[in-house]
Structure 1
Amino acid sequence: MSRKVTAEFLGTFILVFFGVGAAVLMGEKIGMLGIALAFGLSIVAAAYALGAISGAHLNPAVSLGMVTAGRMSAGEFIGYAVAQVAGATVGALAVFAIASGKADYALATHGLGQNGFGAGYLGEYSLLAALLFEAIATFIFVTVILGATQDGAPGAMAGLAIGLTLAGIHLVGINVTGVSVNPARSIGPAVIVGGKALADLWVFIVAPLAGGAVAGILHAAGVTRANGD
């Protein structure tokens, strides 16, 4: 178990360092498409580097989906979730330390890739829109993960399929919430930024966990899995 939680810590660090780092350090240069690709490619990298150790969940919503699908225990979920949040927080701190080396960077002005919604945040979408997007997008993401990693699926392609799905989700939703679909990814930057990011954080915990849990329940019921899995 120690190897698994270490892998989850490192993998979630990679996710946040790539994805949030792209948004904070290169966002103006690469735009939303570049940020989406950075998040997707980070999943591909972590999946092939660490997937054999822990499954490379990198996300409490994915781990909860594994619990409701009957693929892991509640005790394992707790260990994974703690490691994921810790990895995301250290990843966000690393990005903040690098960004702070730029003369005109200010946390209050430029942020740290935190998720949000409403007035003053990107497309200024409503709370309901944020909740719907995060729940639906996480459901889709976890459904793809469960399907790509089930018995009989082409395992060598799982990391690529999952990474491309995350990139696609970002292409749809960056302007809505900045895209979480991952409570750990949201917690890391929020605890550093504080203020509105912390006030909005519950959305990016509740909605992704709900979406992931439902995906696991439907997979366990056979609705979204191949026969014989």
Structure 2
Amino acid sequence: METRTVVSEFTGTALLVLFGVGSLVLAGDYINAVGISLAFGFILIALAYAFGRISGCHINPAVTLGMLLAGRIDIRRAAEYWVAQLVGGIVGAAVLFLLAKQVPRLRTDDAFGSNGYGGRSPVGLGAGGAFLAEVLLTFLLVFVFLMVTQKVTLAGIEPVPVGLALAAVNLVGIPLTWTSVNPARSLGPALFAGGGALSQLWVFLIAPLVGGVLAAVVHRFTQLHPAGQAEEEQATEPRTGPWGRMRGGHRPEAGGPEAKGPEAA
């Protein structure tokens, strides 16, 4: 086990839950759905710049599953990430719970930023609709993650589209299910909310994983396969003539005037 990658996934997931779900629990009445969505997107971008070069900043079991199916990580690393993410989600929720208890008249029972359907959905979405919504929303998030990254890590401007995707799915999903798209994000708050949050948790553990699988499948058909990549690289290589001459009468390795060929002898 590489300790720094596991610690990065644990810490990143804990901070995502603390500040992302915290924006809903502590400030939801002031910033509304748009503000909550932006909070999730901004915190993911910040964490991706902090941990992206270390672990890839998955901080989401569905993303890790997509990376596993895409062949970028092995099952051992995926299992380490999953444990770190789920424990991190619980720890982040525990810290948020302690903070929420300091706020007078703040309700945490059967609420606490947990996801839900039916009577616990802002629009009354049923279980089937909630499952479908979470699959589709997670598909978008994981698909964007897979498409903008080339390896395991996040680098350059790659965190920005991933964060924007999370903000977008929250804008759509908050009125439906309070937006999960992340089993670790759902598990921690549900444990402290209890009641209906726990009985409905299965949807928000399974549906995001299904969305991650679908994203990996579609990514497999949209990415450039090794054979196609080799053809593309070959097409961009400089054309050479007999005896390795390039257009213009220069050899690639010489960088200057070409030596005379046999016909000049």
Name the TM-score, length of structure 1 as normaliser: 0.93
| Stretches of structure 1 lacking an aligned partner (at least 5 in a row) | none
Q: Say which one has the larger Rg.
A: 2
1:129 deviates by 1.0
Change (3 A) 1:162 1:196: same
**C-alpha separation between the residues in 1 aligned to 2:128 and 2:72?**
31
Deviation string 1:7-66 (CA, Å, 9 cap, x unpaired) is 000100111111100001100000000000011111101100001110000000000001
The DSSP-based 3-state class of the residue aligned with 1:107 is: coil
> Which amino acid letter does the alignment assign opposite residue 21 of structure 1?
G
**Aligned equivalents of 1:120, 1:13: Cα separation in 2:** 24
Matched, 1:207 2:212: no
Where relative contact order (Cα < 8 A, 6+ residues apart) is larger, the structure is 1
* Residue type of the alignment partner of 2:36: I
Q: What is the identity percentage for the equivalent residue pairs of Structure 1 and Structure 2?
A: 45
In structure 1, the residue matched to 2:25 is 24
- After the TM superposition, which residues 1-229 of structure 1 pair with which residues of structure 2 at under 5 Å, given as runs? 1-108=2-109, 111-150=111-150, 155-219=155-219, 221=220, 223-226=221-224, 228=229
Give the AA of the match of 2:175: N
Q: Is the 8 A contact 1:143 1:224 kept in 2?
A: no
Unpaired segments ≥5 residues, structure 2: 231-265
Question: Which structure's residues are more often helix, by fraction?
Answer: 1
Question: 2-side partners of 1:103 and 1:172: how far apart?
Answer: 30
Q: Deviations over 1:63-101 (max 9, x none)?
A: 000111111111111110110011111111111111110
State the aligned residue count: 224
Q: TM-score, normalised by structure 2?
A: 0.81
Structure 1 residue runs of 4+, over 4 Å off?
none
Specify the SS of the correspondent of 1:91.
Answer: helix
